[in-house]
Each structure stands twice: as C-alpha cells, then as structure tokens.
Structure 1
C-alpha cells in the first residue's frame, strides 16, 4: 500500500508571515523528535525581491526542551547540506530540504537573510517527522 500520510507527522516550523524587509533571522519552532526516527525540514520561498539577498540555513539541536544547550548540528548528522538548503534572490517560489539524523531530542531551523536591504522576503518551513515508532500518526497532527 502506498500510504505516506500515516507514516509522517508534519509540524509548523516557520509560519507563513508578512514579508521580512531586513536581515532578521527566521527561527523555527523547537521540534521534539521523540517517537520518530527521522526529521526533514522543508523550506518554502515565495517572492524574493532584493537582487543581493542570500539566505543561509542553520540546524541546531540539544537535549533541553528550550534549547538552552543549542549547538550547531555536525555535518554527519545532516542529510543534505545547509548550503544546499540555502537560497538566493533568484530562488523565487522554490523549495529546499534538509534532514536530521542526530541523536538529540530537540531540533530547530534558522534561515538568515543577508543583503536583504530593500526587498520583501517570504519564507516558511514545515518539519516532517517520519519513521514513527507507533502507527498510524495522529490526524490532524498535534
């Protein structure tokens, strides 16, 4: 059976919001991976209008629920790279993804614009938890 729905648990990471018109970092919700063996962040861009803007990606993890112990995730604990998950102004209306396979319980994503001096930036992200230890996953996700 080709059932992906009951095997994933999508969560809000970075909510759709009004355009960012400066270089303020967009920081995701802290994602608790307990009960799941995989996490992929899906990053969505809308219009990216500043011709100098770039968008870097950082994935952090830790054991504290508030991520007071946050540390950058080592490359060995990522699927894909933070560089490949980043964007430039030319990547209007595109998606990127980066996976986490580390052992920490809490993870967050940060997308940081630079050179966004005069543009409007629309970026959001979804955290997709997968490989659940209990099936099916709840619907709607909680």
Structure 2
C-alpha cells in the first residue's frame, strides 16, 4: 500500500463553488468502500451581511430521507455563521451510507462558497 495521502483518499464535489444566495443541499456523498468522511468548505466574499451556516445530513438512500446528523456525530471547525475568506472542516462519525452538506441561510444577500467531500480509509487502496 502506498503511504502518500493522495493515493488513500477520494475527493468528490459536494457544493460547486459559486455565489450562493439561498439555502441549498449539496450532493449526496456515497460512503460505500470508505470508513471515513470529511467535508472541506471554502468561503469567499459575503455580500449584504450574508448570514449562512452549514450542517451535515445523512440517509440510507441517496435520493430521500435525509435528516440532520446528531451533534455528537460531527466534528467541526465551522461556526454558526460563516465568515468571509475562510475554510472549515466537518468530519462525519455516523454510519449512514449517504451524507450531504446543507447550506442554511438566516439572512443577508449572498456568500461565495464551495465544498468538497474527502473520503478516507478506503477498503481498497490505492484510490484511483
């Protein structure tokens, strides 16, 4: 097995980088074949006192049944209100097959934001 990190993780777009002006659900990330998952969120400019936050949701199915992940199943550096030009990580410790990042809007106009899911501890390595 290779010892470099890049060969032992998979990266999947979770929320495409864009100016976000409303609440949005990210892509459903399939954890099959991996034992760990983290999301990396990157923010840019905030316009009009944008008040946005992120949370994780989980489901046994990719298309429906998503519920908020319990707080004790998430390790996060993200504050309740995201700040401009920052990066955050959200680690998932649950056991559902599908997990997504949800962007919440409490007020304001918009935030530039993108996110990627990083899947680790693969069943088979190296990861292509």
TM-score (norm 1): 0.81
Q: 1:101 offset after TM fit, Å?
A: 1.3
CA contact (8 A) 1:39 1:100 kept: yes
| Corresponding residue to 2:69 among 63, 66, 73 | 73
SS in 1 for 2:72: helix
SS in 1 for 2:17: coil
Asked if 1:128 corresponds to 2:128, the answer is no
| Greater share of strand | 2
Whole-angstrom distance in 2 between the partners of 1:30 and 1:136: 23
SS in 2 for 1:47: strand
Runs in 1 of length 4+ with deviation above 2 angstroms?
Answer: 84-88
| Corresponding residue to 1:102 among 94, 97, 109 | 94
- State the partner residue of 2:28: 30
Whole-angstrom distance in 2 between the partners of 1:12 and 1:128: 9
Change (3 A) 1:109 1:85: farther
Whole-angstrom distance in 2 between the partners of 1:80 and 1:50: 26
Whole-angstrom distance in 1 between the partners of 2:56 and 2:79: 10
Unpaired runs of at least 5, structure 1: none
TM-score (norm 2): 0.89
SS in 2 for 1:29: coil
Within 5 Å, give how 1:108-123 maps onto structure 2. 108-117=100-109, 120-123=110-113
CA RMSD in angstroms, aligned pairs only: 1.8
Unpaired runs of at least 5, structure 2: none
Whole-angstrom distance in 2 between the partners of 1:2 and 1:49: 42
SS in 2 for 1:87: coil
The size of the alignment, in residue pairs, is 127
